[in-house]
Amino acid sequence: MRTRSEENPSAAGSNVLSAGNDVLSVDNLGKHYEVKKLFGGEKGTVKALDGVSFQLKKGETLAVVGESGCGKSTLAKALMQVESPSFGKVEINGQSIADISAQEFRHKMQMVFQDPYSSVNPRKKVGQIIAEPKVVNGGGTAKSLRREVQDLMQTVGLRPEYIDRYPHMFSGGQRQRIGLARALMMRPEILICDEPVSALDISIQAQVINLLMELQNKFSLSYIFITHDLSVVRHLADSVMVMYLGKVVEYGPRGSIFADPQHPYTKALLSSTPTVYDTEAQEEIILQGELPSPLEPPSGCAFHKRCPWAKDNCKTDVPSLDMIGDRVVACLYVKD
C-alpha cells in the first residue's frame, strides 16, 4: 500500500491551517437537535455537531477521526445538505453552498458510503446505478451514457462488459468500486468518504485505498475521509481532524499529529493503533468509561471524565482551540 508521503513528499510537513487554495471552507458549523428525554417529557438539546471549522485544499485529503458518536456522520450529512445545519457557514471555492443550486452542488460534492451492500439498488443493473446521477440531472443520450459508464468502470478497475450485471453478482470490494464510479459520474471536486473500507476484508481495503489515491491524482479530487481506523489515515491523509462529542479537539498536518500528538484523546487513539513504523513500543493509554451522552455532556472539558491527566479546572473550564505549533488543540493540560 502506498503512503501519502510517497505520493506527495511535502504533504506531511505542510501547514493545513494556512489560507489560500481552499476548495472547501467550513466555519463554526453546528447541528443541534431538540429532543424529549425518556422520562418526564422534558426537552433537551443534543449538540451532535458543535462549532466545527476546517479548510480543505484542492487535491488533498482531510481525515476526520473519532469514536462512534463523536459527530463524524453528522458532519457528513450537514456538508451534503442531507441535514440543515443549525448554524455556521460552508463555502465551496469561496461561494456559500446556500447560493449554489442543487444541480450545481451535485457537480461539486458527492459521497461514497460505508456499506457497499446496502448503498446500491439490488434491482438495477450496474450500468443504471452508475449512470443514475447523470440521468437525474439531465444527462446525455443513452449511447453516450453507456460509453461514459463503461469508461468509468474501467477507471475504477471493473470490467466494462459487466455493465448489464446486477449488484449481487459482485463482491463487496467490487460493489464499493461501483459506488465510487457512481460518485465520479458527476465529475465532482470533493468526495466525502464515510468509512468506505471498514466493511471490507483487510486485503481488499488496501486495494480500495490505493484506488482512491489513484483517482485523486487522475481527477484532482479533494477527499473528506471519515474513519475510526488510524492505520488507514496514516496512508491516505494530508491532514487529520480529531473529534470528540461534536467538537474538534485537535486538527493539523498528518505527519505532525502522528509523530507528536498533543491532545490526550489523540494520544489514546494512536496508542491503541497497531503500527510497524515505530522503532519503540508506545505506552498504551486505556480510556476509562464510555463516550458521554451528547444530551447531557460533562461540564468543562467534555473529555475530563476519561482523561488520565485531568486537573480540577478541567471540570469547570471549557478549553478553546488554540495554536500549538503547527496545529490547533483544545486542551487545558497542553496549554499548562
221-240 pLDDT tens trace: 999 999 988 888 988 999 99
pLDDT for position 231 = 84
* Coil, helix or strand at residue 318: coil
User: Taking a C-beta distance cutoff of 8 angstroms, is the pair 49, 31 a contact?
Assistant: yes
- The per-residue pLDDT for range 58-73, each reduced to its tens digit, is 999 999 999 888 999 9
Least confident of 32-36, 79-83, 191-195: 32-36
Measured in degrees and rounded to the nearest 5, phi and psi for residue 278 equal: -80, 135
- The per-residue pLDDT for range 146-155, each reduced to its tens digit, is 999 999 999 9
How many angstroms from the chain centroid is the CA of residue 204? 20
The more confidently predicted of residues 333 and 329 is 329
pTM: 0.89
The percentage of the chain sitting over the pLDDT mark of 90, rounded to a whole number, equals 67
d(CA 75, CA 317): 25
- Strands, E assignment, the chain: 22-36, 43-57, 61-65, 87-92, 95-96, 109-112, 190-194, 222-227, 239-244, 247-253, 322-324, 327-329
Q: Where in the chain is the domain with CATH 3.40.50.300?
A: 4-93+189-335
Q: Above 50 in pLDDT, residue 15? A: no
d(CA 115, CA 6): 29
Q: How confident is the model at residue 8 (pLDDT cuts 50, 70, 90)?
A: very low
DSSP 210: H
Please, which residues have CB within 8 angstroms of residue 100's CB and are 6 or more apart in sequence? 92, 108
HSE value, Cβ hemisphere, 13 Å, CA-based, for 252: 23
The more confidently predicted of residues 279 and 37 is 37
* Coil, helix or strand at residue 104: helix
Secondary structure (H, E, C), 240-259: EEEEECCEEEEEEEHHHHHH
Measured in degrees and rounded to the nearest 5, phi and psi for residue 196 equal: -70, -15
pLDDT for position 10 = 34
User: Taking a C-beta distance cutoff of 8 angstroms, is the pair 40, 102 a contact?
Assistant: no
The more confidently predicted of residues 206 and 75 is 75
The more confidently predicted of residues 180 and 335 is 180
Q: Above 80 in pLDDT, residue 278? A: no
d(CA 186, CA 244): 33
- The per-residue pLDDT for range 264-277, each reduced to its tens digit, is 999 999 987 665 45
pLDDT for position 274 = 61
Q: How confident is the model at residue 165 (pLDDT cuts 50, 70, 90)?
A: very high
d(CA 210, CA 208): 5
CA angle (330 as vertex; 98, 317 as ends), nearest 5? 110
Q: Above 80 in pLDDT, residue 193? A: yes
Measured in degrees and rounded to the nearest 5, phi and psi for residue 213 equal: -70, -40
HSE value, Cβ hemisphere, 13 Å, CA-based, for 99: 8
Q: How confident is the model at residue 199 (pLDDT cuts 50, 70, 90)?
A: confident
Q: 27 pairs with which residues across the strands?
A: 89
User: Taking a C-beta distance cutoff of 8 angstroms, is the pair 26, 243 a contact?
Assistant: no
User: Taking a C-beta distance cutoff of 8 angstroms, is the pair 304, 310 a contact?
Assistant: yes
Q: Which fold has domain 4-93+189-335?
A: Rossmann fold (3.40.50)
d(CA 72, CA 297): 17
Alpha-carbon distance values, 144 to 18, 66, 133, 151, 156 (Å): 42, 42, 14, 11, 19
Q: Above 80 in pLDDT, residue 40? A: no
User: Taking a C-beta distance cutoff of 8 angstroms, is the pair 252, 16 a contact?
Assistant: yes
Other Cβ atoms within 10 Å of 166 Cβ, number: 16
- The per-residue pLDDT for range 75-92, each reduced to its tens digit, is 999 999 999 999 999 999
> Letter for the amino acid at 70?
C
pLDDT for position 21 = 79
